[in-house]
Amino acid sequence: MVHTPLMSFQRHYIFLITSILSSCIKKDKENINTTKVISTTKVKKEISKVKSKFILTEKNSMDYFLEYDKIHKENVVELDTDMGKIEITLFNETKFHRSNFLYLSKLNYFKSTQFYRVINNFIIQGGNSDNRKIWKKRKSIGKYLLPVDNNHGFKHSRGMVSMPSSIIKNPHKLASPYEFFIVQSTSGAHFLDGDYTIFGKVTKGMDVVDKIAAVDTDDLDWPISNIFINNVKVLR
């Protein structure tokens, strides 16, 4: 698909809305002491039927993924993209981020999302789209952020998979759970170390990552011809 002026406008709008939505998520100080922890029974029930109408929020997401981590031990996924397949091993050390990625994969969230930010010799970033259906998916799953978990010694070397943070009014760099980026640079992106959560590594398909990184992009680093993630399959 080739860009049109309208699509460029839509993409500027997407980046603006993404920033605004992310910045709106904050804790209500008056309710901190009265927040109820969701029961383990309820969490397990919702996990067992992953396609339920259960909505994730700032208040319940951490408890939910803590229980999800105990039940779902898979850690290898395969991204089927327009330019080939990419296999990723998810790190058990970053339990919330691993569980989040598994959860979204099993809900088929990533289907029809795109690599929307591509910078050769740096990163490729995916999980977003200019299609309104993706925003409807997000609404049905929930609105939440994930805390930075960077105390495991992982570095932003080539092939590492990391989670970007919300852009506006986010001094703690809380992570946007629906998006991810893969370090493509041969020398890594180590100036990002300590600021973002590395939760996986490409184990097969770095040639595909390089192909994606080499495509032509517009002024917002969005590929001129869209590159879709057709599916994310949990392998084991």
Quick check: 117 and 123 in contact, CB under 8 A? yes
Cα separation, 83 vs 65, whole angstroms = 31
What number of other Cβ atoms are within 10 A of residue 123's Cβ? Answer: 25
Cα separation, 219 vs 210, whole angstroms = 20
Cα separation, 36 vs 84, whole angstroms = 44
Supply 84's token pair: 């080939």
Question: So what's the pLDDT on residue 31?
Answer: 42
The length of the chain is 236
pLDDT means per 10 residues in the chain (236 residues)?
49 50 42 46 54 81 95 97 98 96 96 97 95 93 91 96 70 78 97 94 98 97 97 95
Quick check: 92 and 75 in contact, CB under 8 A? yes
Cα separation, 228 vs 210, whole angstroms = 15
Question: So what's the pLDDT on residue 35?
Answer: 39
Cα separation, 104 vs 77, whole angstroms = 12
| Domains (range + CATH), the chain | 5-27+35-234 (2.40.100.10)
What does each C-alpha distance from 143 to 107, 146, 216 come to in angstroms? 15, 11, 32
Kindly report the pTM of this predicted structure. Answer: 0.76
Torsion angles phi and psi, residue 23, rounded to 5: -75, -20
Q: Which contacts (CB < 8 Å, 24+ apart) does range 167-174 have?
A: 167/18, 167/19, 167/22, 167/23, 168/19, 168/20, 168/22, 168/23, 169/23, 170/22, 170/23, 172/147, 172/148, 173/148, 174/22, 174/25, 174/145, 174/146, 174/147, 174/148
Q: Where are the beta strands (DSSP E) in 176-217?
A: 180-183, 197-204
